[in-house]
């Protein structure tokens, strides 16, 4: 597992040769400049330094060696400084006491750690620029660690992150915090009535499974987290084109998010009774693969006609959500890389939130704003359920229309949530297509900080009045 400090350019001890970084807000840069020595003003002018946000400049000492950095930033967000770890020269750094920009210790930690991240399992390690961490909270440390673990899990190729490895990651996290972990695998899924998980995963040589983690005090409010753990998605017999299949190691991104959130709840001892359910499968192609036109009777008893084998995530989640409802929790939250339609609607950076409870949605969205981890809500527009009409079953898993694809997927899932139970569904991309500050190309934790903040404020009185 990733260590936020040892692997991502952070140190709790200041190095004796550490260089200071003067953080200056873009808004106040002109005023700051007037207070500097003639040497510094002349040096900045010679570099044509204009003091715009994200610009930085190295300041030399009398011998010509870099001994200080001026970094101009905008806002108190993690992404204000996330460009620095990979652009600054290798070495050690700390925040200067001469800094004038308002930047919290927690955002300094998160920004540097998110910006320094590289997935280095298969390549030579590169020593990053190292920042001396300050008096950041233990909570911020845990958020960074969980975020980097989610990235690692998603970035790991399916050969090393199949259903069994996903179970082992869950067992490792569970054992770290005293949780109990169990799984139902292979043919036992049929015996214990999880038919859709079995159907989607049966064609793979790697057994499908439902992974369950339980933690917490029975006296506390019960929440259930459900994650789509499709460790690779060929599309099944409705096979994806090559470009659509290329990054399908990320199709377990929902499970990675749910597991990362479970880790945060346990590590920060949020007073809830937690159940985590991960439907872990590989949607492969073989003679026993499920077919278009098949009808599967789900755990809930609803029959589903398979219109498209590439709409498999909602199938595995249907059994997990049914079990979640049987547990009669206070709240159900699911996470899934569910639809390309969500990306068409909102692009790669905005996870789509669906929710059946107005207050829950409001608080979840507000948490995303606070954490600079935005979400966007779309409606559960019931008339669109007609797009999933089947002539031979209670409903189809997909349909001929390409309209409102992420909404129809959410409406499908809602059919498996008990009426009156608060439920959220987050359709996440879990991926960065390009390299950007704090958002390296590859696996990404999206909405994780928002979900954790939302649950902290809802259930933990230590944070209920936090801004």
Please indicate whether residue 240 is annotated as part of the active site. Answer: yes
Output the six-digit token pair for 236.
């099944």
Instruction: Please say whether the dihedral angle defined by the alpha carbons of residues 130, 134, 138 and 140, taken in this order, is positive or negative.
Output: negative
Q: How far apart are CA 29 and CA 216, in angstroms?
A: 49
Sign, CA dihedral 392-285-323-377, equals negative
Which two tokens mark 153?
A: 């899990």
How many whole angstroms separate alpha carbon 276 and alpha carbon 459?
17
Rounded to 5°, angle at Cα 10 from 5 and 13: 100
DSSP calls for 66-111: EEEEEEEE-SSSGGGSTTHHHHSPSSEEEE-TT--S---HHHHHHH
How many Å is the Cα radius of gyration of the chain? 24
Distance (Å, rounded) from C-alpha 395 to C-alpha 6?
51
* β-bridge partners, 217: none
Q: CA-CA distance, 368 to 239, in Å (whole number)?
A: 35
Q: How far is CA 390 from the centre of its chain?
A: 34
Q: Which of 314, 439, 449, 453 is the catalytic position? A: 314
CB 145 within 8 A of CB 110: no
Q: Which residues pair with 425 in a beta bridge?
A: 334, 354
Can you say how many angstroms the Cα of residue 225 is from the centroid of all Cα atoms in its chain?
13
Residue with tokens 């569910």: 338
Taking a C-beta distance cutoff of 8 angstroms, is the pair 392, 294 a contact?
A: no
Residue 246 annotated as catalytic = no
Q: For residue 106, give the nearest of 129, 149, 132, 135 by alpha carbon.
A: 135
Do the beta carbons of residue 332 and residue 417 sit within 8 Å?
yes
* Cβ pair 4, 113 in contact under 8 A: yes
134 φ, ψ (degrees, to nearest 5): -105, -135
Known catalytic residues are: 240, 314
């Amino acid at each position: 597992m990733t260590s936020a400090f040892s692997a991502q350019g952070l140190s709790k001890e200041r190095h004796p040769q550490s260089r200071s970084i003067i953080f200056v807000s873009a808004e106040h840069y002109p005023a700051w400049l007037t207070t500097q020595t003639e040497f510094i003003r002349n040096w900045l002018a010679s570099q044509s330094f204009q003091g715009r946000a994200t610009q930085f400049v190295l300041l030399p000492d009398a011998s010509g060696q870099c001994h200080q950095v001026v970094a101009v930033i905008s806002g108190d967000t993690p992404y204000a400084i996330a460009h620095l770890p990979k652009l600054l020269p290798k070495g050690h750094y700390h925040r200067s006491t001469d800094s004038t920009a308002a930047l919290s210790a927690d955002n300094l930690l998160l920004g540097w750690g998110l910006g320094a991240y590289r997935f280095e399992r298969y390549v030579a390690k590169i020593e990053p620029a190292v920042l001396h961490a300050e008096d950041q909270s233990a909570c911020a440390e845990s958020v960074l660690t969980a975020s980097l673990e989610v990235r690692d899990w998603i970035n790991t190729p399916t050969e090393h992150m199949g259903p069994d490895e996903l179970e082992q990651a869950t067992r490792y996290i569970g054992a770290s915090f005293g949780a109990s972990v169990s799984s139902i695998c292979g043919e036992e899924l049929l015996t214990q009535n999880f038919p859709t998980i079995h159907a989607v995963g049966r064609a793979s040589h790697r057994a499908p499974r439902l992974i369950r983690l339980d933690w917490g005090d029975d006296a506390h409010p019960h929440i259930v987290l459900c994650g789509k753990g499709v460790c690779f998605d060929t599309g099944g017999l409705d096979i994806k084109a090559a470009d659509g299949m290329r990054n399908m190691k990320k199709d377990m991104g929902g499970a990675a998010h749910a597991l990362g959130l479970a880790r945060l709840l346990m590590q920060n001892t949020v007073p809830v009774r937690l159940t985590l359910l991960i439907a872990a499968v590989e949607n492969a192609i073989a003679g026993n693969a499920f077919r278009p036109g098949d009808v599967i009777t789900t755990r809930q008893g609803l029959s589903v006609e398979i219109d498209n084998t590439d709409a498999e995530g909602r199938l595995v989640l249907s059994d997990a959500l049914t079990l979640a409802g049987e547990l009669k929790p206070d709240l159900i939250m699911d996470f899934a890389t569910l639809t390309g339609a969500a990306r068409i609607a909102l692009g790669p950076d905005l996870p789509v939130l669906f929710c059946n409870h107005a207050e829950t949605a409001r608080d979840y969205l507000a948490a995303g704003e606070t954490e600079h981890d935005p979400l966007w809500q779309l409606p559960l527009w019931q008339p669109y359920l007609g797009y999933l009409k089947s002539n031979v079953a209670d409903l189809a898993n997909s349909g001929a229309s390409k309209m409102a694809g992420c909404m129809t997927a959410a409406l499908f899932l809602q059919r498996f949530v008990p009426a009156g139970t608060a439920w959220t569904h987050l359709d996440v991309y879990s991926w960065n297509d390009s390299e950007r500050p704090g958002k390296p190309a590859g696996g990404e934790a999206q909405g994780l900080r928002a979900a954790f903040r939302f649950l902290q404020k809802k259930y933990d009185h230590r944070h209920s009045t936090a801004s």
